[in-house]
Structure 1
Amino acid sequence: MGNEIKVPKGFKFYGTHVGIKKKRKDFGLIIADKVCHAAAVFTKNTFCGECIPIGKEHVSNAELQAVVVTSGIANVATGKVGRKNEYRILECLANKLQVEKENILPSSTGLIGPQLPIDLIEDFLKTESIEMKENYEDFAQAILTTDQQMKVRSLKVGDATILGIVKGSGMIEPNMATMLAYVLTDAKIAKEAIYPMLKTAVDQSFNTISIDSDTSTSDTVALLASNHYEVDQTAFQTGLNQLCKDLALAVVKDAEGATKTMFVTVKNAVSQEQAKSAGKSIINSPLVKTALFGNDPNWGRIAMALGKTEGLIFDQNKVTVYYGQYPIFSNSNEEKQNISQILAYIEQNEDIYLTVDLHQGTEQFEVIGCDLSYEYVKINSDYSS
């Protein structure tokens, strides 16, 4: 375990292979030494995984003690059998770990359609010993699907620690969360405060990113507080916001096939919501994304994405578009004298900063996306096999 990653007091982890995937770890657990104050936000995709309604019910009293993740099969579109399978896993874990099943948050991620190999999972849980560890790495590996790497961050707030573990590299256009993210802390957080804190952090982080504009059926971000250390609540919110931003950026950096990350700021908009919508329209455009992959500063595609943003108030004669510090479009004209510098900027950098100034109001918002490469197509055309 890296020295820079700290684990909050009161949490242990487990990850192993139970048979969902061919070889790699596919089953992860987090357990706390006592019932935690907790909150979670979930996908708004109405064709959601069978774990999502159960998770919403279990966290409704702002209490959780454990998290279980099955990876490789999403348990989506599996009907009553899929729902029953989730409960069978929870029953086994409750008996084995001596935890109330209503205090366990279930998550599943992977291929949509197949049923979980429930007999294999149940047999494993009934016959094999589970050794929980303070090291998070087995868990962080067990929840991965097409991810290229583990994504883990931690920071201190006073005496307390916040640890975040996230998976996700495709089917990411979050509307409440992004893929699977688990944030753990030993700070004392009141029940009535924990959901607003999480929601604030998620809106500033996971809800600002997009890889491919597809909202996952399994998105979950959960926060569990083991309540060991007093903290300044404002400082904790600041730390939680930063941790979630770092995790969200890590997801984009690990995006399927991505070679570049694009930071899009839309400024001087009528409202933050309009700025966010315009930014998302840009980073979700396949034409913008493929141009970025090809190092093509095609500002016409930026204009197209702005123009199709529903409800966006702007005057096209006032819009200015910048790549880095260089304007490429202003006063209804292409800034041809900057094209060579902009080409060099895109070719030489992995992080590309695009700014759109609407000159219409005072609000701004930054969103983060990536390019669309041949490798993304290959990964997703081969995924079910």
Structure 2
Amino acid sequence: MPLNITSAPQGFSAFITNLGIRDNTDDFVFIKSEVPSVADGVFTQSLFAGPSVTISRRNLAGSQAQGIVVISKNANVANGAVGIADAEEILQLVAAETGITAHNLVIASTGVIGRRYPIEKIRAGLSGLGKKLTPADFHAAARGIMTTDTVAKLATRKIGNATLVGIAKGVGMIEPNMATLLTFFFTDAAIPANTLRSIFRPTIDKTFNCLSVDTDTSTSDSAVILANGLAGEVSEQDFAHALQEVAQELVLKIARDAEGATKIIEVTVDSAVNYAQAKKVAKAIVNSPLVKTAVYGADPNWGRVAMAIGKCENEQEINPEQVIIRFDNVKVYPDTLNEENLEQLRQIMSKDQVGIHVSLNIGEAAATVWGCDLSEGYIEINGKYST
């Protein structure tokens, strides 16, 4: 169901359409704020980062933006100077139609790498954009940024008189090195730029940066937030809590919709020396193809978790004799499992969400990460992605 206009953040309008980039589904989304917004963004660290990333990173240097342009089904990556020129032209076209300066716009692009935009179609499709804006339909926007996603991903929370809405796309090529995939947040809360940055970046790090589907970092990862302030000031603590909830809800929706996935995997590592160590070990587990396939088949081969921990060979403080491994509440190491325990483990691994808990017992830090199982469906989707 569309987000109720009365519960949506104030002051945002949108133009969502199909520009003929790949198929008959919407492939262009533009969301505009009535007024310049306090903004922040984090982007992929990929060496092959696309023009959308480099341009948006530049445009957000002043912590302000008034609109976000998203093109799906084409990443516009690895196209050289012409790719940069095409992206800049699109922002200039939107700027001319809306009266917003191009430097006050953010652009994101996702889809096939190495193919140029059908720029003539885009030019034609953007003609008259300024007169086609309507109150922002964030559900439609979430659908418009999809590629191989099967469902639109949206979450929202109230913060006093203000509203926060987040949308995201992503089901594959997900092992973030900053944010992940594409995710955008819009709010009418008034938040100072420094405060927004101090809340937004740690939240992304502990939600989207803790998500992995297939260990591949996208060239186009972008996470951006716009706060136009039209609802007035809110509690910083309440805002941070709402942002955390929205981001985590989107992360779980992505994990559930991941390419070929049938189950979510949640890995918590605690009693680590520091957060970085806990997260590293948790990621080693959730990224292991052998762990993923064991979860897919509900195979109680818990030793694959021990194997994944063992791959973190630089973490010399870890002592296998101190480690405890659990699946939900069933301890699998160092205890010896009998047939009854193994059957319990099969049942746990047959659930829609499988929890793996590792205690290193060498410190007090903890981290939780999310991922999914690995099925034949992943190969089917990605073996035919560009065709």
Report the TM range for the smaller structure's normalisation.
over 0.9
Quick one: distance in 2 between partners of 1:178 and 1:354? 23
Match of 2:228 in 1: 226
User: Is 1:103 aligned to residue 107 of structure 2?
Assistant: no
Contact 1:327 1:335 in 2 (8 A): no
Give 2:134's match in structure 1, choosing from 123, 132, 136.
Answer: 132
Quick one: distance in 1 between partners of 2:64 and 2:25? 31
Quick one: distance in 1 between partners of 2:89 and 2:308? 47
User: Is 1:112 aligned to residue 116 of structure 2?
Assistant: no
CA shift in 2, pair 1:116/1:242, >3 Å: same
Identity of aligned residues (%): 37
TM-superposed deviation, 1:53: 0.8
TM-score under structure 2 normalisation? Answer: 0.96
**What is the letter of the counterpart of residue 330 of structure 1?**
P
Match of 1:305 in 2: 308
Match of 2:334 in 1: 330
Quick one: distance in 1 between partners of 2:236 and 2:111? 36
User: Is 1:70 aligned to residue 66 of structure 2?
Assistant: no
Contact 1:14 1:138 in 2 (8 A): no
The 10-residue stretch of structure 1 (267-276 or 279-288) with the greater mean CA deviation from structure 2: 267-276
TM-superposed deviation, 1:133: 2.7
Match of 1:264 in 2: 267
Match of 1:339 in 2: 342
Structure 1 counterpart SS, 2:285:
helix
Structure 1 counterpart SS, 2:135:
coil
Pairwise mapping of residues 169-208 of structure 1 onto structure 2 (< 5 A)?
Answer: 169-208=171-210
Match of 2:39 in 1: 38
Quick one: distance in 2 between partners of 1:2 and 1:67? 19
Match of 1:242 in 2: 245
User: Is 1:320 aligned to residue 321 of structure 2?
Assistant: no
Quick one: distance in 1 between partners of 2:338 and 2:41? 47
**What is the letter of the counterpart of residue 235 of structure 2?**
D
TM-superposed deviation, 1:260: 0.6
Quick one: distance in 2 between partners of 1:266 and 1:375? 29
Contact 1:14 1:29 in 2 (8 A): yes
**What is the letter of the counterpart of residue 257 of structure 2?**
D
| Structure 1: tracts of 5 or more residues without a match | none
Contact 1:154 1:162 in 2 (8 A): yes
TM-superposed deviation, 1:2: 4.3
Quick one: distance in 1 between partners of 2:309 and 2:174? 21
Structure 2 counterpart SS, 1:382:
coil
Contact 1:50 1:78 in 2 (8 A): no
| Structure 2: tracts of 5 or more residues without a match | none
1:169-188 deviation digits (Å, cap 9, x = unpaired)? 11111121111111011111
Match of 2:144 in 1: 142
Pairwise mapping of residues 345-360 of structure 1 onto structure 2 (< 5 A)?
Answer: 345-347=348-350, 349-360=351-362
TM-superposed deviation, 1:360: 1.8
Structure 1 counterpart SS, 2:134:
coil
Quick one: distance in 1 between partners of 2:339 and 2:267? 21
Contact 2:3 2:139 in 1 (8 A): no
CA shift in 2, pair 1:224/1:127, >3 Å: closer
Structure 2 counterpart SS, 1:280:
helix
Quick one: distance in 2 between partners of 1:384 and 1:294? 29
CA shift in 2, pair 1:127/1:186, >3 Å: closer
TM-score under structure 1 normalisation? Answer: 0.96
Structure 1 counterpart SS, 2:383:
helix
Match of 2:368 in 1: 366
Quick one: distance in 2 between partners of 1:243 and 1:39? 16
TM-superposed deviation, 1:311: 2.4
The alignment covers a number of residue pairs equal to 383
1:243-299 deviation digits (Å, cap 9, x = unpaired)? 111111111111111001111111111111111000000000111111111111212
CA shift in 2, pair 1:335/1:378, >3 Å: same
Quick one: distance in 2 between partners of 1:272 and 1:346? 27
Quick one: distance in 2 between partners of 1:339 and 1:96? 63
1:125-147 deviation digits (Å, cap 9, x = unpaired)? 12565233332233221110000
Contact 2:13 2:133 in 1 (8 A): no
1:28-50 deviation digits (Å, cap 9, x = unpaired)? 01000010000000011111111
Quick one: distance in 1 between partners of 2:4 and 2:256? 22
The RMSD of aligned alpha carbons is 1.5
Quick one: distance in 1 between partners of 2:38 and 2:18? 29
TM-superposed deviation, 1:124: 1.7
Match of 2:169 in 1: 167
Contact 2:97 2:128 in 1 (8 A): no
